[in-house]
């Protein structure tokens, strides 16, 4: 399930997207049913040609039977199977911490492959 957001800052988009998805898994959906939250929350950033923030997608991975409530502006984002590397941290991603977290993920992958 994805919450697409445009025209705001990265931090504001991440918080708004997470909030919409949080509402969805706690019953604001077409079935009024609660869903277990996955541990994996993916935030994708699209940048303009000049490198500035353009848009953001915040995703939870949910069972395919989940149906979005149109009022939350959520989209069902079906994806093929893929392998992803994940770094766990217990806070919202912030502009000032993104590079640090990416570098730490890269370092742990380097250590794993050595």
Beta bridge mates, 60: 41
Task: Answer yes or no: are the C-beta atoms of 24 and 7 closer than 8 Å.
Answer: no
At the fourth CATH level, the homologous superfamily of domain 2-113 is Regulatory factor, effector binding domain (3.20.80.10)
Nearest Cα residue to 59 out of 102, 93, 95: 93
Of the chain, the end-to-end C-alpha distance in Å amounts to: 35
pLDDT of residue 109: 92
Tell me how far apart the alpha carbons of residues 106 and 97 are, in angstroms, rounded to a whole number. Answer: 14
Tell me how far apart the alpha carbons of residues 69 and 66 are, in angstroms, rounded to a whole number. Answer: 10
pLDDT of residue 98: 78
pTM of the prediction?
0.63
Mean pLDDT of 6-30: 79
Q: Indicate the helix (H) or strand (E) that contains 11.
A: helix 10-25
Q: What SS3 class is residue 93? A: coil
pLDDT of residue 10: 75
Nearest Cα residue to 87 out of 99, 102, 69: 102
pLDDT of residue 56: 72
76-112 pLDDT, tens digit each:
777 788 787 878 777 777 778 878 888 898 999 998 8
29-67 pLDDT, tens digit each:
777 878 776 656 777 777 666 656 667 777 777 766 666
Domain positions in the chain: 2-113
- Does pLDDT of 113 surpass 80? no
């Amino acid at each position: 399930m994805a919450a697409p957001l445009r025209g705001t800052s990265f931090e504001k988009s991440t918080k708004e997207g997470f909030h919409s998805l949080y509402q969805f898994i706690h019953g604001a959906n077409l079935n009024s049913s609660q869903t277990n939250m996955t541990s994996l929350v993916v935030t994708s950033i699209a940048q303009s040609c000049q490198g500035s923030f353009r848009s953001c997608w915040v995703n939870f991975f949910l069972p395919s039977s989940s149906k979005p409530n149109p009022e939350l502006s959520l989209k069902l984002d079906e994806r093929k199977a893929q392998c992803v590397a994940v770094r766990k941290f217990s806070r919202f991603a912030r502009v000032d911490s993104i590079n640090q977290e990416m570098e730490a993920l890269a370092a742990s992958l380097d250590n794993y492959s050595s």
